[in-house]
Amino acid sequence: MTDAEIEITAELVRDLLRDQHPDLAGLPVREVAGGWGNQMWRLGDDLAVRVQRMDTTPEPQLKERRWLPELAPALPLPIPVPVRAGEPSERFPKHWTVMTWVHGEPLDLGTITRGTDAADTLARFLRALHVQAPADAPTSTDRGAHPRDCTGGFESWLKEADALNGIAADVRAVWDDAVTAGEWTGPPMWVHGDLHPANVVVADGTLAGIVDFGDVFAGDPAWDLIAAWLLLPAGTAARFFDAYARADEATIRRARGLAAMKSLFLILMGQNGDRGLPGGKPHWGPLGHAALERVLKGV
């Protein structure tokens, strides 16, 4: 059996805790639905165990261990903070991390009903996150590029996406506009890098926390501003950008194109789920189509 085929069960998680953090081994362990690169297990009421699964490298977890304790105090929403490190062993040859649990419901399973509050909350969070990163902050080899350097991926996803109902030309027009937008000329900023509905949690109809910082990097904040269309209800993007108050026209154009690309990703993940393919998520398809509609309308 290869590393990727090792079945991660509650008993395995308990065994790992007994071996390396026995004081936590008595807490209840229960699986959290979802996850692909890493599997999440709830540990008691306020902790979680993040176990490397399909990720071929421990780098996402190691980045979170290194940087989240520094980022968290300055952020106005809860984020997961590593509290214990689990190292590879004979029992399980991959990394795992005990982290604080961010309470709420993932947005891909919930809804935002207080759109204005969510727009303001997201703007406050990203204003706090988007500060100049230190010289030793991680960079990204795939996310973070100017849209013109991502055209191959965009075209592939656009071609593969089903049920675009005659809007493919409009989607490409948004992308082409992003490709011609000016570059980010400011210093490298802290960027979450993967803001989509499964990576935020909601409570009481608004945003309550941000999770999964495995892609965090220093670069162009436009990669996070896609959240104006990926996360927020229709009609609130303008409110978000007014509250954020740091995005010039070129940055918004880049972000809108990147949001179109991310919407296609959600649609393709939904298709994979409909076809029963590994890692597919059927309920992401409608989320991607709804986000793409908001992108095209610019609201």
In degrees and rounded to multiples of 5, residue 136 shows phi and psi of -95, 15
Each residue's pLDDT tens digit, 111-169: 999 999 999 999 999 999 999 999 999 998 778 999 999 999 999 999 999 889 899 99
Q: What is the pLDDT of residue 1?
A: 39
Q: What is the pLDDT of residue 179?
A: 98
**pLDDT value at 36 more than 80:** no
Tell me what the pLDDT averaged over the chain comes to: 94
**pLDDT value at 223 more than 60:** yes
The 10 Å CB-count burial string (b at 16+, else e) for 80-93 is: bbbebebeeeeebe
pLDDT band at 5 (very low <50, low <70, confident <90, very high): low
Strand partners, 190: 218
Q: What is the pLDDT of residue 299?
A: 82
pLDDT band at 3 (very low <50, low <70, confident <90, very high): very low
- In the chain, the percentage of residues whose pLDDT exceeds 70 is 97
- In the chain, the percentage of residues whose pLDDT exceeds 90 is 89
How many angstroms separate the Cα of 98 from the Cα of each of 9, 23, 59, 86, 202?
Answer: 16, 12, 16, 7, 22
In degrees and rounded to multiples of 5, residue 237 shows phi and psi of -60, -45
**pLDDT value at 101 more than 50:** yes
Q: Which of 17-31, 137-151, 279-293 is predicted least confidently?
A: 137-151
Specify the 3-state DSSP secondary structure of 54.
Answer: coil
**pLDDT value at 194 more than 70:** yes
Query: Two tokens at 227?
Result: 């959240």
Where does residue 47 rank: exposed (0-12), middle (13-18), buried (19+ CB within 10 A)?
middle
Each residue's pLDDT tens digit, 255-284: 999 999 999 999 999 999 999 998 899 999
- Say what the pTM is: 0.95
Strand partners, 47: 43, 100
CB–CB of 47/100 below 8 Å? yes
CB–CB of 298/228 below 8 Å? no
How many angstroms separate the Cα of 224 from the Cα of each of 192, 247, 256?
Answer: 6, 11, 11
**pLDDT value at 2 more than 50:** no
CB–CB of 248/220 below 8 Å? no
29 membership: H or E segment, kind and range: strand 29-31
Query: Two tokens at 131?
Result: 């500060």
227 membership: H or E segment, kind and range: helix 227-230
Q: What is the pLDDT of residue 53?
A: 78
Q: What is the pLDDT of residue 228?
A: 98
Find the length of the chain: 299
Each residue's pLDDT tens digit, 59-72: 999 999 999 999 99
Displacement of CA 291 from its chain's centroid (Å): 15
Dist. CA 149–CA 139, nearest whole Å: 16
